[in-house]
């Protein structure tokens, strides 16, 4: 990563960020409610009676039929209709982490049931997709043929062929992330649905064993995914990540030992990373390990803990522009973290979550971190995370909310098939593969359906944003953009409400 700017620019960026942030008071409760609504718009399968996004209807009802398996359900990842296993699993992991960490704050807004539903829609699908201990269905649909068509999901005519990983075609990264998602979700459902929680844990443990025993990258086994969700970071981070979540869910030492023993050979304490995403889990792993291994019962692992923590704090310092030289994350003139051109907001939302989580850890343990550029306390860390969230909500040079449906000014031409075509509920007339391109894709007007709660790809490195349906780099939204912000919106709402301390129920 290149350094975004020289140190003397840093104070200018901070000043800009402060000006934007102090100018607007946001309704974080509204942002939370809208963010959870978005997942209902992304549902595949038979929609439930309490579906709130009424411009959607049933879709993908024959998924898996060709292969003799029931793969109906789950989520479309973005504006198309392929069900990609890896980003879907990461989305569920982050939703579950949000709820397990900030559940009381979500309950305070009255949104816990919707959060449970968002998670369960994903985990119900994973249970179906895990048809035997060493078989996991990785994808439904094909990105290439899907992208030839511009149709509502209810009208789909594209291939719904399904692809799997198994003993002969391994995918440790996909098995690991799905195991992490189910383990994290099992924590969420432990009290209100113990049977379901136990079932999720059973699947998570089997999937971890499968991924560990039959090692390999899933994009080698499922070649069609390479142009869309290639596993660039390999599978080691997902296996460590899965083991860590299984330890959190079970308290079984064997999983912690795995995270300790493989820390070096799998890169857990080797990789100094400046992004956290559906592909690269190292920073999240390092941050959880830093907090977990701080506990007294883990003191025998303190030498490994310190190395995990060193890498975790490298990530944090890079986000704060306080690392040495070229290992800082770039920023736009308006102060937004900028990792790369395509769908940059995914890295912003995931960074905001990790920084908030680590700020809580520093506050509770009364600690600070030392970056090359100085000492950082929990408050500075949290304030920076908040500045990123506020930028997304409209505190930026364009005064544009990148959370669709939030505030007076937000993207109206989101790159999303279902949102950009008249609702199936309003007009059941079939819209063909190219017909959607001919009439709906090229329309200048706003989408007929508002994709409430979606976070689009966002502005470029100069804070510029072109609200154009064809500009998919900036206007396409993904489930993993929104998922990390669910908990933070709840926390920010609670803090802004000046409420008494919450009693933890997780």
Mean pLDDT of successive 10-residue stretches along the chain, which has 506 residues = 34 40 77 98 98 97 96 97 97 98 96 98 98 97 89 93 96 98 98 97 98 96 90 95 98 96 92 92 96 80 90 95 87 96 96 98 95 94 98 97 97 97 92 90 95 98 96 96 98 84 47
Catalytic residue, candidates 77, 80, 155, 219: 80
Tell me, what DSSP letter sits at residue 421?
Answer: S
Asked if 467 is an active-site residue, the reply is: yes
**Alpha carbons 468 and 453: distance in angstroms, whole number:** 18
Distance of CA 305 to the CA centre of its chain: 26
The candidate with the shortest Cα–Cα distance to 336, out of 477, 486, 474, is: 474
Catalytic residue, candidates 81, 114, 378, 415: 415
Asked if 173 is an active-site residue, the reply is: no
Distance of CA 94 to the CA centre of its chain: 5
* β-bridge mates for residue 338, sequence order: 330
**Alpha carbons 362 and 380: distance in angstroms, whole number:** 11
How many other CB atoms are found less than 10 A from the CB of residue 340?
A: 14
Q: Global pTM?
A: 0.93
Catalytic residue, candidates 57, 124, 294, 467: 467
**Alpha carbons 374 and 99: distance in angstroms, whole number:** 33
Task: Evaluate whether 394 touches 385 at the Cβ level (below 8 Å).
Answer: no
Phi and psi (nearest 5°) for 153? Answer: -60, -30
Q: Which residues have a Cβ under 8 Å from the Cβ of 163 and sit 6 or more positions away?
A: 137, 138, 139, 140, 222, 224, 225
> Can you say whether residue 375 is alpha, beta or left, with left for phi > 0 and alpha for psi between -120 and 50 degrees?
beta
**Alpha carbons 148 and 154: distance in angstroms, whole number:** 16
For 448, the token pair is: 């007929």
The candidate with the shortest Cα–Cα distance to 31, out of 344, 335, 407, 352, is: 407
**Alpha carbons 46 and 63: distance in angstroms, whole number:** 11
Tell me, what DSSP letter sits at residue 169?
Answer: S
Three-state DSSP state, 239:
helix
**Alpha carbons 141 and 158: distance in angstroms, whole number:** 8
pLDDT of residue 501: 52
Catalytic residue, candidates 40, 111, 313, 476: 476
For 20, the token pair is: 């934007």
For 266, the token pair is: 């799998």
């Amino acid at each position: 990563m290149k350094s975004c700017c020289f140190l003397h620019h840093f104070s200018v960026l901070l000043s800009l960020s402060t000006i934007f942030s102090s100018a607007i008071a946001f309704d974080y409760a509204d942002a939370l409610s809208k963010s959870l609504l978005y997942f209902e718009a992304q549902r595949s399968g038979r929609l439930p009676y309490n579906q709130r996004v009424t411009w959607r209807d049933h879709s993908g009802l024959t998924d898996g039929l060709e292969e003799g398996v029931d793969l109906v359900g789950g989520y479309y990842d973005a504006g198309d209709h392929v069900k990609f296993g890896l980003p879907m699993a990461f989305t569920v992991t982050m939703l579950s982490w949000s709820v397990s960490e900030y559940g009381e704050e979500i309950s305070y807004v009255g949104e816990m049931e919707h959060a449970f539903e968002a998670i369960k829609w994903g985990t119900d699908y994973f249970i179906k997709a895990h048809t035997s201990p060493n078989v996991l269905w990785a994808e439904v649909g094909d990105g290439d043929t899907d992208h030839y068509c511009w149709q509502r999901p209810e009208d789909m005519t594209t291939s719904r062929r399904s692809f799997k990983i198994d003993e002969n075609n391994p995918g440790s990264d996909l098995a690991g992330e799905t195991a992490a998602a189910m383990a994290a979700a099992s924590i969420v459902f432990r009290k209100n649905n113990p049977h379901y929680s136990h079932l999720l844990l059973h699947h998570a443990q089997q999937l971890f064993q499968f991924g560990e025993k039959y090692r390999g990258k899933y994009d080698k086994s499922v070649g069609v995914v390479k142009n869309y969700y290639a596993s660039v970071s390999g599978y080691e981070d997902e296996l460590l990540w899965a083991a860590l979540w299984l330890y959190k869910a079970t308290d079984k030492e064997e999983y912690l030992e795995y995270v300790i023993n493989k820390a070096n050979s799998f890169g857990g304490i080797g990789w100094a990373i400046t992004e956290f995403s559906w592909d690269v889990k190292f920073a999240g792993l390092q941050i959880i390990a830093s907090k977990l291994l701080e506990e007294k019962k883990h003191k025998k692992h303190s030498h490994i803990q310190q190395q995990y923590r060193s890498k975790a704090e490298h990530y944090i310092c890079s986000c704060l522009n306080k690392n040495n030289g070229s290992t800082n994350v770039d920023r736009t003139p308006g102060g937004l973290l900028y990792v790369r051109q395509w769908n940059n907001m995914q890295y912003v939302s995931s960074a905001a979550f990790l920084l908030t989580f680590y700020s809580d850890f520093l506050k509770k343990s009364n600690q600070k971190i030392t970056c090359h550029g100085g000492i950082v306390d929990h408050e500075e860390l949290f304030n920076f995370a908040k500045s990123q969230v506020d930028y997304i909500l409209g505190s930026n040079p364009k005064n544009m909310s990148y959370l669709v449906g939030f505030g007076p000014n937000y993207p109206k031409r989101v790159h999303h098939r279902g949102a950009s075509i008249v609702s199936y509920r309003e007009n059941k007339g079939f819209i063909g593969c190219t017909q959607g391109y001919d009439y709906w894709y090229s329309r200048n007007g706003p989408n007929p359906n508002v994709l409430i709660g979606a976070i689009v790809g966002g502005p470029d490195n100069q804070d510029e944003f072109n609200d154009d349906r064809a500009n998919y780099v900036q206007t396409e939204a993904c489930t993993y953009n929104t998922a990390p912000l669910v908990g933070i919106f709840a926390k920010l709402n609670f803090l802004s409400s000046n409420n008494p301390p919450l009693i933890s129920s997780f």
